[in-house]
Every structure is written in structure tokens, then in C-alpha cells.
Structure 1
Amino acid sequence: MRGRRHVRAIRGLASLGLLIVTAAGALPRIDLPAGTLGSAVTALGTQAGVSISIADATLWSQPVPAVHGRLTVAAALARLTRGTAARVLVIDGVTWRIERAARPARVPAATPPIHRLAPSEEEPIIVIASKRDVRLGDFPGTVLRLDGDDLGLGGTQGTGGILAQTASVSSTHLGEGRNKLFIRGIADSSFTGPTQATVGQYFGDVRLTYNAPDPDLRLYDVAAVEVLEGPQATLYGAGSLGGIIRVVRNPARLGEIEAALSAGVALTQHGAPGADFGGVVNLPLLDTRVALRIVGYGLTDGGYIDDVERGKSNINRTRTAGGRAALGIDAGDDWTIDAGATFQAIHGDDSQYADRDGPPLTHASPIAQGFRASYALADFVVGKDWGELRLLSSSGIARQSLDERFDAGSNQPLNIAAGQSLAPVLAAATFGDSGRVFTQANRTMLVSNETRLWRPMSRAFGWVVGTSLLYNRSRLRRTLGQIGMPLPVTGVVNRIDEATLFGEASYQPLPALTLTAGGRVSRSKLSGDGEDIEPTASRLVALARAQATASRTSTRVLPSISAAATMLPGVILFTRYNQGFRPGGLSIDSDFVRRFNSDRVATLETGVRSGNPGHGAFDLAAAVALTRWTRIQADFVDGNGLPTTANIGDGRITSLSLTGGWRPVGGLSLDAELVLNDSRVTDPKVVMLAGIPLTRIPNVSRLTARAGLDYRTRLSDALDLRVRASARYTGKSRLGVGPFLGQEQGDYVDTSLTARIGCPGLGLTLTLTNLADSAGNRFALGTPYQALQEGQITPLRPRTVRLGIDTRF
């Protein structure tokens, strides 16, 4: 029955693709009289429904000729600026910028990491995430850029929108605000513990997290998301073992008034309805010198899991509310100031896992296993442009909290190990072994600053130097016992102070060859303490005290070297060597506080690129990477049935990635991505129970593949149609390390289809997700106390349809 539904869904998608391929499109009619550049772009913005700003006031009165005909915005702007001192840049699909060509572009804090110039110009795509404005053709690495408009199409999305558009990025699926992200198979564990993340996450130039889970900020009103694959320690420091994900907000636009609203309602098969809304307003405060941009949003995702023990339906509803404000200031003399504040809160009524052997989409628990996650960030960025020399200083303070509640009932008895606290045992003996609850409260604070000075590539030479200061403190507290009367069990505090000096330089001995070398020197001071420690006997007191504190200082030197060569016109061959590391810390093992050491990766990567995504009829990229991972930090289950952290040994990861795009006819784009990973623990240092050694690195799918379709056409002078479809296959992986976390997960296909009809100022959207209504198993964990029984799965959200409306003015 389910197989027939798969076939019908595939046939329906194929029929829709054939329909939109055969549809006819038309370009908008542009009528611009001769006059000044300022009046012409104002009229063009109204006729085409786009936003066009002129950065240099002296260009406003520039005389321009009349422009008439059915043209793209790029072609119209090319005609207007032909023969003038202006150049045109595309910020995103509906935002354009005109600057004086002889003057380098101002780079505000929220400039998109890759911007593309109008197709009429010959200037290159720039990778601003390189921190020194490297051309994409010279960048020696794998870069994925996701357009902000694409991420926002069909409703406000979070990290799930990134996963749907990439194959190299993966995630755990414990719940929004609780997940860990991985890139290119470098995954440490399924649990959120004291280890630092393997992926660096950034809002512009400001770091989002250090050793906390993905905050899953909703990607409303963002310009772009950029993914840099592979270690990025030279420029981004600790925690970028797998790569970085950089989210770029739309900046406060000086001298412009604009607003946008969107709302939608959703119906989930086998579940409860949901709704979402969001809005943004941009206000000039002091003419063209100061502007304020405010974003707000809220949504509720209907539940679809039933609890058969409590007799409740659709228990896992999730509510999210958040917003941010950005203040942009032109301080004069090419000084810029950008200040921002971001906040988001997530409340989950219950866990989203199901019992593997129970009825579909159900589990049995005597308690609600809800969670609360909140995130707050304040950032301040100052920039200066001297033409060929540029300065940027970025500071941020982030606070993140996560409160979780788990069923710790009689399904999983406790194992009492030497040195274990008596609190869980006493609780079970006094109140019985049913109706127990386990809670975790994780509190994290991150303070960071980076200041860098750089010179973009000019006359065959470019460089960047900078400093970074960072302080992070995380506190994990836990309780276990009868519902309403839990008792404290061992917790832990980890702190780190880090100071860094980094630099990188590129040289072109030949026009077609770019050589790059760099390095980073980081000095870290780590300290930590155990909390609520209760040894079982006096002879263990000394050992407990010794393990309950840690303080040490270490210095890391991280080199990098790379090369990029233009073999044929439009074909780039690159190779790079880079490293990454994470500092050590303290973890909890059977109520003991244990130390774990730092780990390190070294990656050698070779790849080739032909063409640029979104430009030309074809683009293709391929890369092979070999990674050596020493002293891997990972989690396994302790004597209490809870995750603990240790260095499990050394590993090897071999990755192959292929991406391609094809634009067979006007308005139609097809893209595909394939990622193969072979991840192994080659030299295990920990032998699990029954003498079984570790072999596989957890949460790494051997095969991930994705395909997408995008079609745009004009139905009339007033109506546009856009259709996007995607399918992503996630192969098999295992939950964790060792024989008792060897549950299989993955091996599912997730699909989506979105259609929008309207004009740039107003549109209706219809979105379908999980077209085949498949269950799958995204994550084989719901509560850690039942992890050893292999009885849990996390199904996909059932087939969901959303009807939305959006407007901008």
C-alpha cells in the first residue's frame, strides 16, 4: 500500500515537471523615460517589483537614456549605467545596489557572503566568508551558497531549510533547539554534552555557539546562507572540524522604507494543524545616515505523536517565537557601525519519538517529555574602508539555555558502578521504579570578539591578519527521581578562555595560478568543576575531588596551504590542506567527573569546479577529501544508562562529493548533489562491554543524495509562477559508538513541493512536504534511559500542506 503511494507521488511530481517545462514565459515590460539615474531606478523598482539602492549620492543626478521593452532587471540596469561611472550588484533575487565603479564596495557587517554582479558585467563572484574577498575562481575549497529567498519560500524555516537544500550537511533529530549539526561526515555523537560542536555557526561575522546545540534560528529575512566544507581552523578557529555555516541577515538599508509580511496555515495528516506569521520593517532614522530594521515571527507546529499510556493525541506540538533588530549607521569617512539584537524561544510540549514496535506514530510514557530552548545574542560591528585596505571588528555576547525532561521509568534499570551517587538508588528504593523523571538544564554564555585587517587580491597579492578573543562557560545540571521530587545528581561546569592570532596570504605567480598559505596560533585556558558530587564511600572522596576539577593551558599551531589553478576557461582545479581542533573538558561518567582531552583533524582535499551556480547552462563541481582524526571526542552510555564523553581513539574519513546544475530552457533549473562518506575508528582506545571494539563513527550516512527543480515563468503582465521541488535521500547510519548504541537509523527519502503565484508585492503559496507520507527513522533516540533497548525511532513529520500569503511594500 505504501509502495503504491510512493509510485503515485513520483508520477504526480513527474507530471508537474512536464507541465511547467512546457509552459511559456514572458519578461516584464519596462518603460523608463530619459532623465536622471535616480528617477529611472525609482521607476524601474516600481515596475519590476524590486528594491534598487544607489550607494553614492553623486550618482543620483547622473543623466541616463530612455529604456523600453521586455527586459530583465539586469538588462535594464545595464542599459541605464552603460557609459557611466556606476556598477551594478545583485544582493539577492529582489535587491540590487548601484555603486561608483572606481570606488571599492562598502562591506557592512551583514553583507551577503557571496554576492553576484549583474549578468551584464564581467566582474567575478566574491566569497566574503574567505574574510578577505577572494574571488570564487581563486577560492581553494568547496562552497555552497543558499539564497535567502529560496529558504523563505513556503514559510519561515530553520535549520531544516538548510538540510533540505544540501546533501553534505546532516543533523541529529532530537528536536528543534536541541540538535547537533555535522558536515562531510565529521560527527562525534548523537548527544548534546560538554564537547564543542564540530561545525562553526555564525551570524555574519559573529559566532552563534561554542559547545551548545544548534539554536535553530528561523531564517526569516536573511540574505543568504553559506556553507564552507572541511576544516576552517586557520580563519575560524576551534570547533570548525567539519566546516562552517554562516547565516547573513539583510542589513538595515540606509535611506529606504520597506516592509514585508507573511502568514500561513498548515494541516498535517494524522496530526494537528499549525500556523505561522512573520514581518519585517525597515525605517530610515536620520535621512541616509541611520536606519533600523526590525524582524518578528511566531509559529506553531502541530503535533502528530500519540501517547497511548496517557491516552493523549498529537502531544508533540512545538511553539517558536523570536525576532531581531539591526541598527545601521554610516558614521562618515567610510566608517560603518552595525548593532543588533536577536532572541528566540522554543517550547516543545513533548518528545517526537515513537516506539519501534508500537502502533504507528505512538509511544507509551507516564509523563510528558517536554523541553524549552532559548537563545539571545547582542552583536556590535565596526568597519572601515580605505579602498585597498579594510578593517572589521565584530563583538558578540550570546546566552543559550536548554531544559529537557525525560522518562526514566522502569524500562531501563540502573547499573550501580563504583563511585556512583546513591541518589538514584535511594529514589528508586523509596518511591518504586515507575514514574521516575530525569531532567537536564544546560546554561551557556559565549563572549567573542574578532578584529581583522585585510587587503583584497590586487596586483597578484592579497592578505588578511587578525586577532580573536573568546570566553565560553557552560553549566550542566541534572536531577533524577520520582515525579515532583527529583534529587540532584552529578553535574559539571566547563570554562574556556581563548586568545588567537591568525593570518593568511595569497600570491599569483601566474594569472591562472593562486597559491595560499596561512596559520593560526591559539592559546587556550580550560577549567571546570563538578557539581552535586556524592561519593558512595570515604575512600572515594579523594578520587572524586581529583576528578571534579580541571585547569590547564595549551597552545595550538594550525597551518594551512592551498592552490587554485585555471586549467581551462571556466574550469578551476584546487587542492588544500587544513586542520581543525577542539579543546578538552570535563564530562560525567556514572556520577564521576572525568576529563577528556582535545582532539584534532587534518584534511587534504582536491577538487574541480566548472561554471558558477546560477550562471550559464551548466555547472559542475567534484571534490575528494581524506581526513585523519586523532583522539576523537565522542559519547557512549555510562553505568546509569546516560551518555558520557571520552576520547575513543583515532579515525579516518574519506569523502566524495559531486554537485551539478543544468538550465535546459529559460526559467527552468535542475540541480543535484551526491555525498559518499566512509568513516571509521581505525585505532580504538576504548573497548566497550563484551570486549567489542569501536568501529563506525556515529551519525554518518554512507550515502546522501539530493535533487532539486526550480521553474519560473510569467503568466501575465501581473502574475508570476514559481515552482520548487526537492527530494533528499539520507542513507543508513548508527546512533552512537559501541555495541549498545548500534541502532540503525536513516534510509529514508524526504520530499517537498512549493508553488507560488502572484507578483513581487503579493503572492499565494502552496507547499507540500513528505509527499509520500513516509515514516522513516531520522533518529533512533527519544529518551536516553531506553536507548539500550533499541525501541525508539523518530519518524518524519507526516504529509503536510501549507497555504500561505506574503506581501511586501
Structure 2
Amino acid sequence: MGRTTDLLIAIAPAIAIIAITATPALAADRQAIDIAPGRLGEAAIALGRQTGASIGMSDQSLAQLPTPAVRGTLSIDSALKALLKGTGARAKRVGPAGWRIVRAPSSPRPPAPAPILAAIAPAPDQPQADIIVTASKRDTPLARYAGVVETLDSNLFSTAEAAGGTVALLSRVASLSSTHAGAGRNKLFIRAIADSGVAGPTQATTGQYLGDMRLNYAAPDPDLKLYDVGRVEVLEGPQGTLYGAGSLGGIIRIMPNAPNLGEWGGQLSAGLSATQRGEPGVDLSGTINIPLVAEKVALRLVGYGVRDGGYIDDLRRNRDDVNRVQTWGGRAALRFAPDADWTIDLNGVYQHIDGDDAQYASRSVGRLERASAVAQPYASDYLLGNVRIERQWDTLRFVSSTGYVRHHLDESYDATQPEGFPALFTQRNHVDIFSTENRIVRDMDNGLGWILGASYLQSSSELHRSLTGFGTFGTAIAEPVIIPGVPIYGRGIPAAATGVRNRVREATLFGEASFEPVRGLIATVGGRLTNSRLSGRALDAVTALSTADLARAEAQADRDETIFLPSASILTDALGDVTLYARFQQGFRPGGLAVDDQRVRRFQNDRISTVELGARKGVPGRDRFAASANLAWTDWRNIQADVTDRIGLPTTANIGDGRIYTVEARVVLRPVAPLTLDASIIYNDSRLTQPAAFLRTLSFAGRSLDLPNVANLGGRMGIDWRAEMGDGGMLHLSGSARYVGKSRLGVGPILGQTQGDYVDTSLAANLRWGAVQYSLSLTNLLNSNGNRFSLGTPFDLNTDYYTPLRPRTVRLGVDFAF
């Protein structure tokens, strides 16, 4: 299996030379043309297919431009002019039946606006493009996508939200939730597919991607800032067929703006924020686009720095605002388009996060206060490199994406015991990921088509642990014992505790096809065959461990697993603009090794199956009324969960089998053109129906246990108003309120603390005037002190720790485009 899969992966690029050819039509021929509203990329493919012409693009960023419907008996010239009207692009003739779409030359800048504001006028109600679900890897129109997806375009994100990173997504997507241990160390969950809030070596339940490159594996959310991002898609899971392991809950796909091959340009932004009872904050960013060779090569650079002021005081150490966080980083993208059919992208990302201290407080000490013996800093260092190659034919597309990720996350916890000297427990997780995927896609009308692909992934995770005492002892002592077998040297000298290394190699073949057996009924079937090679080793094992136990556990970790994940869906859009669908899909995570009570133990893979029914009417943001509803049932077998052992250290174990019921709904109204009202709600009923043996004593009178860390009820309401002003100005006002219901940190009484049950609110105003935009935002309007997350330090699970929302914060910002 492994050799065959690797061979197919190796020859996948060669398969891309196969193309479908058609007899070209003459430019002057008038033909029946029928193209729906959408994006320029899809419209050009449809026009080429209907006429037999060859139509390419010099700049693939043009593919996202909205285009109107074009219908009638037209020549290709006339059809192209109709499609490109108002887009800032034009078609160049490159042969008897070939056209190349390029950017039109820049027009002179308009004169500076008059200093007197004109009367506010509503923005015109212009038709908008259909939403295309690019994360489906087949560019599927929303109306023909069988599943729940949230699409967030760049015009929804202010600079303040871009500086917040993942927080901006949490405030807009009701089904998305997170732990709140700190930027760069949080775990993201979609729907109620959550294992626990503790950070252990298990793989994430939510897959995160930057374009086609995987961002995470056995590590938390890297929390990349969302500067210069064109689009974010959140697909509810499982998404095992197209994305493989680690997509149990779903997928978050971030699409940064691509280099522009035709024009120079850029943007600078700056913001100052003030937090009630806390430190001020600042954020700076810059973006520049440089065409190196006109219509051939372009470079796009993004850089930023963000300082989030602290707001938690530590009374024991007499320190104020200890939990400040500094983030800085950037992206670089180089695009090479040798002709209209080939696009080669080189992408690089680097981001560093420094958290000065933990984010939690203690209610018994005071609001936004705690009493810790030591500081608990953390740091995240993230590096990504990626090469993406795309070849486009009329209806056939080949995509190859290969990249490498290095992610280092350092965390620390206060391990001080009562009457003991100050002590600090540190764990360092070093993750390396190499991945490559090669796929061939045929995009056909209305979301029909197929995809075939092969991928290979190799992930290595090394978890190192240590215990540092800050007493006055000069030699190792037996007391106080914090971790059995780990000495306390004192004077800030660390002693190693048992860690673990896990390696996974995955070779995969996958495919999916959609067809229309009868008009208006779309059937989709797919499957993914994955061979995983697993290995694990103990690191810095303490002398108290049995050599035989270590050898046994490591022997169990070295194994192969072959898993097939089927998927199927049916969908009908024959009822006007109403879509009905049913879907079945699976997902899995491979097993590995974890440290439990200073013993190295094996945990097995888990697997999830979901059946869902849904309905959707209209397109949010385009139609006056849009609504969607979804009902899902999930069966989760052999659940992997990050828990704590008897010492209090994070570990991973299989906690049993569970089931989840999910009901969600969303309504988006546009009563008048500039105003959008958005309301969504989600209800989860999750249970651990068959607890593992070590948890059965926690199930009283045969009752099942709640699955952790996702609220049973959540909802969001938002309002958005945009209006044009005289001389090209634009005013944008928005507000939102999000309710997060109650949940539990983990399974059982030790991790059974409740969290959630709060409302988070925000208001924002943006005024764009020419090249300058001014912004004012206010978050946590009610100054809520709600508990976002219950974990303080795992070495003290009895104190009433909580993680409060950031207090009421106001930010003033300015953006300048050039």
C-alpha cells in the first residue's frame, strides 16, 4: 500500500499533461451564450467551454472579480466586453481563437474631494456575485454545496479585527469556539467536536489552512494575524474526504490576497487602543505590492506588529497588567505567471508571539486579579514556506502544493505547592510538518465535476518538559515532591521530566465526483484511502520508569494503519432558490504516545461519522432574504482527549465513545440596500455514552457524561450599514452581540468546572475618504467579566480560576492606501 501510494504521488504531476481540447470558434461567430452571475474566473471557463475559445488570465487575482450575467446570441468579442465591463480588466487577442484577460491601464487619480461633506446617500443596490466555495477544492457555487459553510470576505474585516487574528472569526461565526489560554496556544473547535481544553500532544480536531497549505497538526492554533486577507471560509465537518486526518470538526481556510501582476500599490495602518483598568495597546501594519516584470512576476510583502496591553494584576508579586502580549511577523508572496495558463506562487510566513504571563484570574482574590508565586510566560514561533503550481486548461485544472512548517510553542505553569518554594513547570512542543498534495480537478457547469488527488504528509512532534525550583537549595532534595521521580534543585536550575516524541507519515489517495442523474438533483460520492505510519519515543525519561514499560509502549506506537473514509451527499435546487441536501462523511485522527503519571502510554486513533440534513434559501449579502438550517447527528468512536493525569500534568487518553446532536440556523436580511441584519443560533447536545474504564466511576446511576469545552447553546446577532458619501466617501457602521452558553472544561469532577454563559458585544465605525480610512471600535460594551475558560494551572485545580473577557476597550485607527 505504502509503495503504491508513494509512486502515485510521485507521478501525479505528470498526469497533468492530459487536457481536453475543443474546436475553436471564430471571433466573429455569434453563438448562444448563457453565463450566470459569478466570478470572472468561472465566467471565463464557462465562456471558453460554450464557444471553444481559449481564454486565459495574466493575473490570477482577476479571477475573483464579480461579473454579471451574460445571455443571448453573441460573438466572443461582445460576450467578453459584457463580462469585463466595470471590472478594470480588458481582453487582448492572442490568436485566431485565443484571448488573454489583463488589467486595464490605470486611469488618472480623481481630484481630491472637497472639504465639505456631501449629504449621505444610500449605496446603490447593485447585483453581487454568487458565493463560490473554494475550500471544496472544486470551486463549487454555494447553491450546490451540500454542507454548512461561512464565507467572510475582506470587506467584512476592519484593521482592528485583522490585528485580533482568530478573535475576529470567533466573533462572526456562531459554530466556531475556542479555548482562551492565550494567543498562539488556543484550540479551535467547530460545532461541538471538541476533546478538551487542556493542551496535550493530540492532533487538532479542526484543520487550518493558508491557501492550500496546512497550518497545524499536533499543535494549537498559530493565530496568524489577518492583515491583507481576501477571504476566509469555515467549513463544518467532518471533511475527511478532501482534507484527511484532523478535520473532524471542519476546516478554516484563510486566503491571503495574491500578488497583483499589473499595478504597484500598498497600504499602511496604525491603531491605538485603551483598555479599562488596563494598559494601552498599539498595532502597526504595512503592505506593498511590486510588479517586478509587468504581467509576469510580482512580489507582495506584509509586515505587522501588535501589542495587546495587559489587564490582570498579580497581588502576590505586586505586579500590574501582567498579561501583555506582543506579536510581530509578516508574509511574502512571489507570483510568476509565464503565460495565461501557468501560475507559480512562492509563499513565506513568519510570526512570533511573546506572552509575558498567563491570562487567568482568581475570583476569590478579586476581579481581574490573582496571586501567583511566579510569572508564567509563553511564546510561539511559527515559520511556513510553500510552493504552489497551477496549470489551467478549458475545464481541467492541475494544482500542486508543497510546503514545510516549523512551529515551536513554549508554555509554563505555576507548579508551586502549599508551603513550598516557588516552582515552574515548562513544556516545549516542537512541531515540524512537511506536506505535498497534487490534484487534478475538472470544473463543470453549476458545481458538477470531479477531483482526483494524492498527498503525503510527515509530522514530527517533540514535547520536552522540565521542572524548575526557585528555592535556596543547592543540591537535589526529596521534598517537596511535585512530580514523582523529578528532583527539585532550587536556584532556578531545571530538572527534566519525561517527554514524548510522535511521528506520523501519511500517504493518501482521494477522489470525489458530482453528477446530475436527473435535472435538479446533484449526487456526490467520494472516498479517501490513507496509510499512516506511526512511531513514538520517550524523551528524557525519569529513572523511576521501568525499562520494560518503555519498550512495550514504544513497540505499540510503531505501527501502520490503513483507513478508508467514504462520503456521499445528495442535493436538489429544483425548488427555485431553495437548496435541500443530505450528507454523510467521516473523519479520523491517528494515535500516538503520551505521558501519563510519568509513564509512557499509547493512545489509539479515533473516528467520527456525521449524518446531516440541511436547507438553504438565498445567498447572504446578495439577496434580500437568506436563511439556512441544519440538523446533524455525529457518532464519535474511541475519542482522543487531552486530560490531566493524577499529578495534574497534561496527557492524552482514549475516553470512550460519544454522540452529538447539533441544530443550527441563520437568517440574513437586507430590508434596504445599505443595511444587513444577521442572526444565527446553534444548539449542541453532546454526551460521552460509553466512558472508558477509568471514567466509568464518574458516571452516576448509569448517566452519560457531557463532552467538554463547547457550549450547549450559542448565538450571534449582527448589524451592518454602509452608505456612500459625496466625492467617493464611504461610511460603514457595524455592531454585534454574541452569546456563549455554559460548558465544562473537561470530563469528570476534576476538570468539571463550568465556564461560559456570557455575552460579548462590539461596535465599529469606519469612514473612508479617498485613500484614507478612519476607524473607531469599541469591544465588550457591557464590560462583562464572564469566564471564557476555566483552566488556570493544572497543578492547582481547586482554586476558582477563570479567564475573563478583555475589559471594555476602545481603539482609534487610520489606514492609508497608495
TM-score, structure 2 as length reference: 0.83
Tell whether 2:614 aligns with 1:607. yes
**Is the contact between residue 619 and residue 626 of structure 2 (CA under 8 Å) also seen in structure 1?**
yes
Q: Is the 8 A contact 1:341 1:378 kept in 2?
A: yes
Q: CA deviation at 1:396?
A: 1.1
1:104 deviates by 11
CA contact (8 A) 1:106 1:385 kept: no
Aligned to 1:517: 525
User: Which residue does the alignment assign to 2:497?
Assistant: 489
Matches within 5 A, 1:611-760: 611-688=618-695, 691-692=698-699, 695-760=705-770
- Corresponding position of 1:597: 604
Distance 1:385 1:441, change over 3 A: same
Q: Which residue of 1 is the match for residue 243 of structure 2?
A: 236
Check the 8 A contact 1:780/1:790 in 2, yes or no.
no
CA contact (8 A) 1:764 1:806 kept: yes
Partner amino acid, structure 2, of 1:781? L
**Which amino acid in 1 is paired with 2:603?**
F
Q: Does 1:435 align with 2:430?
A: no
CA contact (8 A) 1:103 1:387 kept: no
1:457: Cα distance to partner?
2.1
How many angstroms apart in 2 are the aligned matches of 1:383 and 1:74? Answer: 23
How much has 1:714 moved relative to structure 2? Answer: 2.6
Give, as a single letter, the amino acid of the residue that structure 2 aligns with 1:723: L
Alpha-carbon distance in 2 for matches of 1:221, 1:77:
31
Q: 1:732 aligns to what SS in structure 2?
A: strand
Q: Taking structure 1 as reference, are residues 119 and 653 closer, same or farther at Cα in structure 2, changes over 3 Å only?
A: same
Counterparts in 2 of 1:87 and 1:451: CA distance versus 1, 3 Å? farther
Contact 2:636/2:657 (<8 A) preserved? yes
How big is each residue's C-alpha offset from its partner over 1:374-415, in whole Å with a ceiling of 9 and x where there is no partner?
11100000000011111000011000011112110114xxxx
1:54-93 equivalent positions in 2, closer than 5 A: 83-86=78-81, 88=83
CA distance in 1, matches of 2:101, 2:605: 39
The answer to whether the aligner puts 1:394 opposite 2:394 as a matched pair is no
User: CA deviation digits over 1:560-613, x for unaligned, max 9?
Assistant: 000110142100001100000000000110110100000000000110000001
Report the alpha carbon displacement of residue 645 of structure 1 after superposing the two structures with TM: 1.0
Which one of the candidate residues 442, 448, 457 is aligned to 2:435?
448
Change (3 A) 1:738 1:760: farther
Structure 2: which amino acid aligns with 1:801?
V
SS of 1:285's equivalent in the other structure is strand
Q: Please give the residue correspondences for 1:163-242 in structure 2 after superposition, counting only pairs within 5 Å.
A: 163-242=170-249
Query: In the alignment, what sits opposite 2:805?
Result: 796
Letter of the aligned partner of 1:751 in structure 2? T
3-state SS, counterpart of residue 442 of structure 2: strand
Whichever residue aligns with residue 511 of structure 1, its letter is R
Hey, what does 1:805 align to over in structure 2? 814
In the alignment, structure 1 segments of 5+ residues that lack a partner are 1-53, 61-71, 108-117, 412-431
CA deviation map 1:680-732 (0-9, x unaligned): 00111133496546611110100010010110113432432110111110000
For residue 547 of structure 1, report the CA deviation from its aligned partner: 2.0
Aligned counterparts of 1:295 and 1:534: Cα–Cα separation in 2: 45
Question: Aligned in 2, Cα 1:546/1:317: closer, same or farther, shift over 3 Å?
Answer: same
Q: 1:84 to 1:75 in 2, by over 3 A?
A: closer
Distance 1:723 1:374, change over 3 A: same
2:449 equivalent in structure 1: 462
RMSD after superposition: 2.8
CA distance in structure 1 between the aligned counterparts of 2:707 and 2:56, rounded to whole angstroms? 59
Q: Distance in 1 between matches of 2:692 and 2:678?
A: 42
Q: Is the 8 A contact 1:517 1:561 kept in 2?
A: yes
The verdict on how the C-alpha distance between 1:517 and 1:717 changes in structure 2, with shifts beyond 3 A counting, is same
Q: Give the CA deviation at 1:125.
A: 3.4
Q: TM-score, normalised by structure 1?
A: 0.83
Of the three residues 125, 146, 154, the one matched with 2:160 is 154
Amino acid at match of 2:146: P
Report if the CA contact (8 A) 1:492-1:531 is conserved: yes
Aligned to 2:464: 477
CA distance in structure 2 between the partners assigned to 1:398 and 1:168 by the alignment: 27
The one-letter code of the counterpart of 1:637 is T
CA 1:459–1:608 in structure 2 vs 1: closer, same or farther (change >3 Å)?
A: closer
Tell me the amino acid that sits aligned with residue 772 of structure 2. Answer: L
The answer (yes or no) to whether the contact 1:152–1:219 under 8 Å persists in 2 is no
2:448 & 2:402 partners in 1: Cα distance? 29
Q: Identity of aligned pairs, percent? A: 48
CA shift digits 1:454-501 (9 cap, x unpaired):
111249951100001000000001111303122111100000000000
Task: Output the amino acid matched with 1:502.
Answer: F
Structure 2 Cα separation of the partners of residues 548 and 453 of structure 1: 39
Choose which of 326, 335, 339 in structure 2 pairs with 1:332.
339
**In 2, Cα distance between the equivalents of 1:77 and 1:272?**
55
CA contact (8 A) 2:68 2:83 kept: no
Is 1:142 aligned with 2:148?
yes
Q: CA deviation at 1:332?
A: 2.0
Task: Answer yes or no: is the 8 Å Cα contact 2:159–2:227 preserved in 1.
Answer: no
Unaligned runs of 5+ in 2: 1-43, 46-53, 59-64, 103-123, 471-491
Q: Residues 149-182 of structure 1: CA distance to partner in whole angstroms, max 9, x if unpaired? A: 3223435220000000010000000000000000
Contact 1:85 1:100 in 2 (8 A): no
Cα shift readout 1:48-75 (whole Å, capped 9, x = no counterpart): xxxxxx9999999xxxxxxxxxxx9989
From 126, 134, 141, give the equivalent of 2:132.
126
Give the stretch that moved more between structures: 671-680 or 154-163. 154-163
- Report the Cα offset of residue 123 of structure 1: 7.3
Asked whether the equivalents of residues 160 and 777 of structure 2 are also in contact (C-alpha less than 8 Å), the reply is yes
Is residue 776 of structure 2 the alignment partner of residue 766 of structure 1?
yes
CA distance, structure 1, for counterparts of residue 498 and residue 442 of structure 2: 51
The letter of the residue matching 2:242 is L
Moved more, 480-489 or 662-671: 480-489
Distance 2:211 2:583 in 1: 24
